[in-house]
Amino acid sequence: MIKNPLSELNFIEGEVLLFDKPFKWTSFDLVRKVRSQIRKNLGKSKIKVGHAGTLDPLATGLMIICTGKKTKQIEKYQATEKEYIAKIYLGATTPSFDLETEVNKKFTIGHINRELIEEILNMFVGEQQQTPPSYSAKWVDGQRAYKKAHQGIEVAMKPSVVTIHEIELLKVNLPEIEISIKCSKGTYIRSLANDIGIALNSGAYLSGLRRTKIGDFEVEKALQVEEFKLTEAEKPLI
């Protein structure tokens, strides 16, 4: 893994790059930006670039971008454990389970305290069935689920088995809490937030999310998008 200098990278033979995805960027936005920079400097119109795990537009944090022959390793990185810092707003829900859509229901939180939150969070540690949000990139009948949801089409999402390895309550500032999560591939933190709200006999949605780790890779070692600018003096190996 090389963060700098960019001149030492060989994008065709393959590189594994770490990026800190900006807020409101899609995962494809980041892939497209990296691919454009590489193509521009190599003078080649075709080069493989892909990511090892989607992040929602409203989330920030670690994304792994693979180039060239290293794209064959994407599935290996996707299968590793992920770590997140999540902010969860209690007492309301949204159709998307996050801030992408407006609040549709409100609930009381007068009965909720730190002790109850910690008790409920412990219930989610371990293997469980989790239903993905209808506003997600899951394929349903040949179309992304979120496209159907935005059209007002009811989407029946199938649950899948995920594992929550650890949950830690970091902050309580009601109506918002902050937690850290270590979880398996395929875990939707938005769904976890919604399920936590139900378990608290209230409602909840994800109000902030940052991915901090994928396997052994940490966001602290990631590039900011603006750092990935290849100049003539930094022309990479081909």
Taken in order of first residue, the domains within the chain and their CATH numbers are 6-78+216-234 (3.30.2350.10), 82-214 (3.30.2350.10)
- Arithmetic mean of pLDDT over the chain: 89
Of 4-13, 49-58, 91-100, 163-172, the range with the lowest mean pLDDT is 4-13
- Amino acid 141: pLDDT: 67
Helix (H) and strand (E) counts for the chain?
Answer: 5, 13
Q: How confident is the model at residue 11 (pLDDT cuts 50, 70, 90)?
A: confident
Please report the beta strands in the chain, taking only residues with DSSP state E, as ranges in sequence order: 16-21, 49-51, 59-67, 82-90, 92-93, 105-106, 126-130, 139-140, 143-144, 160-173, 176-183, 204-214, 217-218
- Amino acid 237: pLDDT: 40
- The three-point CA angle 20-190-92 to 5° equals 125
Residues in a beta bridge with 51: 65
Which positions are catalytic? 56
- Amino acid 238: pLDDT: 37
Q: What is the pTM of this model?
A: 0.89
pLDDT at 5 over 70: no
pLDDT in tens, 63-114: 999 999 999 999 999 999 999 999 999 999 999 999 999 999 999 999 999 9
Query: The tokens 């180039």 sit on which residue?
Result: 67
User: Which residue type, as a one-letter code, is found at position 207?
Assistant: S
String of DSSP letters for 16-58: EEEEEEPTT--HHHHHHHHHHHHHHHHT-S---EEESS---TT
Burial of 223 (0-12, 13-18, 19+ CB in 10 A): middle
Mean per-residue pLDDT, 151-169: 88
Report yes or no: 200 and 7 within 8 Å, Cβ to Cβ. no
How is the chain split among helix, strand and coil, in percent rounded to 5? 30, 35, 40
